[in-house]
Amino acid sequence: MILAIESSSSVCSVSLQTESGRIIDRWIDGRAEHSKKLVLFIAELLEEAAGSIEQGLSKLQKVIISNGPGSYTGLRIAGSALRGVLFNRKVDVWAASTLAGIACSVFKAQEEWPSSVILDPACIRSDYAGIQVAGSVIHAVIDARGGFSYYQPFSLEQSGLMALADPRRVANSIIISALRSNEQSFLVGSGWANFTESKPVQEEMEKRTQFFHARNLLTLLHFPSKIGLTSVFIDKLEPYYLGNNQVNNSPITTLKG
């Protein structure tokens, strides 16, 4: 079984892929919910999947956890909770870029991914039905306030995602320029109002379930490209932060092969 945890925003989301491939979830949005709900959600899912928490833990093979950038409190709570859950247990742990996880929100959550061609059009969510694999850019953003955002662009490839630049904290004006440079651009994440008047705040809030969902991390883990993923020892897990000293306002250039 594979456990996924997303806690980088006000959202607390936990998903579990069972041995049969079925995915079960718990999700809530609200301040201070992580400390109250995260461990409870994990316990509920393990019990639902295996009959008891202990049985569920014995069948747990992998854990993937959203590791930032994002909320300092949410990331710390999730890291501490996971250390407690996995104490004295040998389970593979993967730390996932929150921005890469958000980028995966354009894909459907699937119990089985095709082994040969990952990005079949059938894998794309219906609300992104017009998306083209070749040349499309997914702009993943998280509002960092003060006119800045945590940002990373990705392209769609047959192996999943390709990072077009490193994650960084940049001025919103730089991201707006990047959005305008490619007609096949898709904005996902938080803070839409900072970039376009055509995407009202209400629509963004309605999609928070989609953007900040642990199912996206399961999708990311299934991609052969393994973009945004790092295998870690649980006692070495540290949240990834992008602070003021990492602000970069230069034009965004893509990474070379």
Alpha helices in 11-89 (DSSP H): 33-50, 53-59, 72-85
| Amino acid 111: pLDDT | 64
Tokens of 30: 């609200």
Residue-level pLDDT at 112: 62
C-alpha dist (Å) from residue 222 to 17, 22, 23, 48: 12, 14, 13, 23
Domains and CATH numbers, the chain: 2-101+213-243 (3.30.420.40), 111-208 (3.30.420.200)
Which stretches of the chain drop beneath a pLDDT of 70? 110-121, 130-135, 197-202, 241-257
pLDDT in the model for residue 247? 40
Q: Give this prediction's pTM.
A: 0.87
What is the β-pairing status of strands 229-232 and 92-96? antiparallel
> What is the residue-wise DSSP string for 73-140?
HHHHHHHHHHHHHTTT---EEEEE-HHHHHHGGGBPP-SS--SS-TT-GGGB-GGGTT--STT-EEEE
Q: Quote the pLDDT of residue 41.
A: 97
Q: Which helix (H) or strand (E) holds 6?
A: strand 2-6
pLDDT for 255: 40
Q: How many CB atoms lie within 10 A of CB 25?
A: 16
CA distance 159 to 224: 6
Instruction: Please tell me whether residue 50 adopts helix, strand or coil conformation.
Output: helix
Non-local (6+) Cβ contacts of 8 within 8 A are: 66, 67, 68, 69, 70, 71, 74, 75, 98, 142, 212
Task: Give residue 83's pLDDT.
Answer: 92
Kindly report, residue by residue over 166-186, the tens digit of the pLDDT. 999 999 999 988 888 877 788
Predicted confidence at residue 44, as pLDDT, reads 97
Asked if 92 contacts 61 with a C-beta cutoff of 8 angstroms, the reply is yes
Q: With contact defined as beta carbons under 8 Å apart, do 81 and 42 qualify?
A: yes
Q: Is 205 left (phi over 0), alpha (psi -120 to 50) or beta?
A: alpha
pLDDT tens figures, 21-66: 899 999 998 888 899 999 999 999 999 999 999 999 999 999 999 9
Nearest to 3 by CA among 142, 75, 96, 68: 96
